[in-house]
Amino acid sequence: MKLTPDFLKKMIRMVKMTKTEEIGCDECYDKLHEFAEMKLVGKSPEEAMPLVSDHLERCGSCREEYEALLEAMKGLEKTA
């Protein structure tokens, strides 16, 4: 890995965004279904699960998983 100025800036920016309380991808993934279910019934998962919400804002991979799960669940509701 080459330590270019752009790479170092990105790493510093990521470190600055680190919070005292965070969850990782595994824990976020385990809670995605709850987050999506709350969203579908009109509740505020962002308020109820702020750590998951924060992680989804920061992690593109988990956000993609969440969005795909949410769309799949919406599709299931339409067929039920």
Name the nearest CA neighbour of 38 among 24, 25, 59, 53.
53
- Taking only the tens place, the pLDDT of each residue in 13-45 is 776 766 668 899 999 999 999 999 999 999 999
> Can you give the length of the chain in residues?
80
Global pTM value: 0.72
Would you give the DSSP letter of residue 80? -
pLDDT at 63 over 80: yes
Would you give the DSSP letter of residue 28? H
Helices (H) and strands (E) in the chain — how many of each? 5, 0
pLDDT at residue 3, as a whole number: 83
pLDDT at residue 39, as a whole number: 96
Domain ranges of the chain: 22-79
